[in-house]
């Protein structure tokens, strides 16, 4: 039995099937998004899921103390830390940042800050780019 062609070369049946499948895909995607939103809301709570801030802990009854800050602020690099990093670079020129982490007994974030400060001050010179950057005394 020959198919009847529509204006764009597809049969009426093909067009109908494509339309049904397209609507079904949209309905399935909407159902999945709705289910995910429900699960997230169940995990984090309705206020947070709606984009609001959480209430956090409530103050104790009778407490008159002012709310505390978030803790200690990040500190800059101390002169002692700069000297430690500079000493390692002086003893072993050509080390990469990751290798300096292992040589200096301070945190990685402090090593990164110290290297940035030493580059700014011109006490060290660099060679290479990104992870391949090596350090030596200026």
pLDDT tens digits, 57-93: 565 665 555 555 565 666 788 999 999 999 999 999 9
Whole-number pLDDT of residue 26: 86
d(CA 126, CA 128): 7
* Per-residue pLDDT, 126: 94
- pLDDT of 9-56, one tens digit each? 678 898 889 889 988 998 898 888 888 888 888 888 766 555 555 555
pLDDT of residue 36: 87
Contacts of 128 (CB under 8 A, 6+ apart): 134
Query: DSSP alpha helices (H): ranges in the chain?
Result: 12-44, 46-49, 79-91, 97-103, 108-121
């Amino acid at each position: 039995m020959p198919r009847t062609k529509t204006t764009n070369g597809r049969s009426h049946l093909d067009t109908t099937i494509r339309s049904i499948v397209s609507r079904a895909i949209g309905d399935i995607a909407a159902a999945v998004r709705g289910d995910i939103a429900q699960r997230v809301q169940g995990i984090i709570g309705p206020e947070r899921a709606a984009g609001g801030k959480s209430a956090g802990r409530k103050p104790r009854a009778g407490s008159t103390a002012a709310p505390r800050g978030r803790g200690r602020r990040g500190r800059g690099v101390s002169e002692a830390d700069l000297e430690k990093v500079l000493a390692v670079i002086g003893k072993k020129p050509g080390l990469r940042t990751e290798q300096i982490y292992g040589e200096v007994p301070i945190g990685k974030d402090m090593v990164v800050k110290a290297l940035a400060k030493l580059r700014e001050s011109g006490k060290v010179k660099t060679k290479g780019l990104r992870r391949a950057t090596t350090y030596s005394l200026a």
